[in-house]
Structure 1
Amino acid sequence: MSSADVQFHQVLIAIEEGKSRLEQTQEEVEQVKDIMLDNMKKADERSGKLNDLEQQAEDLLEKGKVFEKKASKLKQQKKMSNKKMKIIFISIGVVAGLVVLGLIIFAVIG
């Protein structure tokens, strides 16, 4: 082989090696691109799920406030009901006491 043939052969080998390196680099870039796209997709999904969780938390907080108001109102109603029952029982006791006292006085006088 002549020196021109040897040089030409070396140039061809260098070109082939350059192509394979370029192809390898392009494949790696493509893999990285795919991974990044997948990560972006997952981040979007997580963002949606986080928004859903945030909305659920807000809903639960609102329901908790409503529950607290209703519980407080019910507690107040029960206190009033208990007071009314105490007044009724005391009134019955006083009336019964007066009746007994009246009977005793009537028995003593009469």
Structure 2
Amino acid sequence: MRGAAKAGDVGNFLGSFGKPTDPFPTLLAGGLTVFALWREGREAEGVITWLTPTEGERAMGLPDGWTAFGCDGQPVSTRARQKALGNSIALPCAEYIMAGVKEELKGGNGHSTD
């Protein structure tokens, strides 16, 4: 992707998104792609680790078990939990963004909001 961007190759750049075999694939609307990462210290071996639902919850800033049960109190499958986490936004990011919005609305940037 970076090489295509530097070369100005639009076709290859756009083609670099959404590949389920990439270590950090983007989510596609048509299917579930589980988030994966390289196992620290084993990058040269190409070892990919799929996040467990609990690891995904932690990465998204959610409490452990947040996605474990549905609104009906029934257990949620691992696949459904991973899909829900993949379709969510990381709470620390949302909080940071919203704090900035709040600051701007209060005029905290030194500019008048009039």
Q: TM-score, normalised by structure 1?
A: 0.26
Q: TM-score, normalised by structure 2?
A: 0.25
Whose radius of gyration is greater, 1 or 2? 1
More helix by share: 1
More strand by share: 2
